Amino acid sequence: MFGMSYVSAYFHCVFSTKERRRYITPELRVRLWPFLGGIARQNKMKAIEVGGVEDHVHILLSLPSTMAVSKAVQLIKGGSSKWIHDTFPDQRMFAWQKEYGAFSVSVSQLDKAIEYIRNQEAHHRKKTFQEEFLTLLKKHRIEYNERYLWK
């Protein structure tokens, strides 16, 4: 078999609404999570799990060998933002924050990542988005300057 590349690239992506406004209502969520999965499929990615709360999204993505994680997030955020504006006239102020987090996930940790994303509602009864994001940065040993983190 020639001409094939085999790649295992899983990313736990996290991005919030602009200024972490609580735009993602339960009614929107029911339609938005599947729509994010559809954007992924259309672009040859796999959305393994999608979840989140009013002000941010978690999506576990499997990316093709030819796609950078920055491109994947751009496609998902751009496509979903346009769809929200077109489908929900009352959400014309909706926007995603420019920044995002993307954390690699090994195959051995996929089930834990899926469970984590599924339990966002319960998780955020105890922890804020900021606390959660700092935990992810530290866990993945990503250097950051808190001064620039919460713009």
Structure tokens at 82: 């346009």
Q: Is residue 1 part of a domain?
A: no
Asked if residues 123 and 75 have their Cβ atoms less than 8 Å apart, the reply is no
129 in a domain, yes or no?
A: yes
Residue stretches of the chain with pLDDT short of 70: 1-3, 150-151
- Location of structure tokens 């209502």: 25
- What is the distance in angstroms between the CA of the first residue and the CA of the last residue of the chain? 49
Q: Would 80 be classed as within a structural domain?
A: yes
**Single-letter residue type at 139:** K
Long-range contacts of 29-34 (CB under 8 A, 24+ apart): 31/87, 32/57, 32/80, 32/84
**4 occurs within a structural domain:** no
Task: Give domain status of residue 73, yes or no.
Answer: yes
Task: Count up the domains in the chain and report the number.
Answer: 1
Q: Residue 27 corresponds to which amino acid? A: E
pLDDT of 2 reads 65
- Domain membership of residue 46 (yes or no) is yes
CATH code, 143? 3.30.70.1290
Residue 88 lies in domain: 10-149
